[in-house]
Amino acid sequence: MESIIITIDGPAGSGKSTTAKIVAELLGYIYVDSGAMYRAVTLATIRHKCETIEQIIHLLDSLHIELKMSPQGQRTFLNGEDISEEIREPIITSKVSFISSIKEVRTAMVDLQRKIGAKGSIVMDGRDIGTVVFPHAQLKIFMIASIHERAKRRLDQMKSKYSEHISDITEITEQITNRDYADSHREIDPLKPADDAIMLDTTGMSIQEQCDFIVKKAQQLIFIE
């Protein structure tokens, strides 16, 4: 049985990470959340009060980002500190698209992602994984869902995480729309489906259905390889 690379790209709230995690578990693969790496860089730029692109680029050399498995799932570490909760804060979400549009940031993260995925048997989710990071991946999924459904999912996620109610559906819809626009229109490695990606519209689909679809495709490839 061969090991393959599975890439799951798509816009915010399309269900990528929830699905990728379960698919990895079902196949006995490693799940890699590439967005967490861009969020870690964003957190570092805030902590260091970076004001210019030059300062951000300079900071990159001193950052050591790691993703480690723990009983609570995958955790993100920045220079040895567990920052998994902090990188989900709204302040990070509002700044991450800008930080991830910087060429040097992308080069550093893509290198790290390729190193982690070099041995295969991984499911990596993000924006450019099938187009740039692993253009030769055996299975590429591009997940989409209606903006209404994506905003609703994100709101539910936030409600379960934060005790007080911080946003409403209109605000979240606007935030997601803005982030998708920035991610799809940036100059370097924009969000777009790879030519050989399978489009999966998850509007109205359950998580179980999404996972079954991908696992089935993966198993066909694993047994053919």
Local structure of 84: helix, strand or coil: coil
Q: Does 34 bind ligand CDP (CB under 6 A)?
A: yes
CB 74 within 8 A of CB 37: no
Strand partners, 74: 69
CA separation, residue 82 to residues 40, 78, 79, 126, 162 (Å): 10, 7, 9, 21, 19
Stretch that binds ligand CDP, among 33-41, 61-69, 75-83, 192-200 (CB under 6 A): 33-41
User: Which tokens is 216 given?
Assistant: 């089935």
Q: Does 97 bind ligand CDP (CB under 6 A)?
A: yes
CA 214 – CA 221 distance, rounded (Å): 11
- Selected from 24, 84, 128, 197, the binder of ligand CDP by CB under 6 A is 128
Identify which of residues 13 and 117 has a Cβ nearer to ligand CDP in the complex: 13
Q: Does 17 bind ligand CDP (CB under 6 A)?
A: yes
Residue 197: CB minimum distance to ligand CDP, A:
14
Token look-up 């991830």 returns 100
Identify which of residues 12 and 200 has a Cβ nearer to ligand CDP in the complex: 12
Site residues for ligand CDP per CB under 6 A: 12-13, 17, 34-35, 38-39, 96-97, 100, 126-129, 179, 183
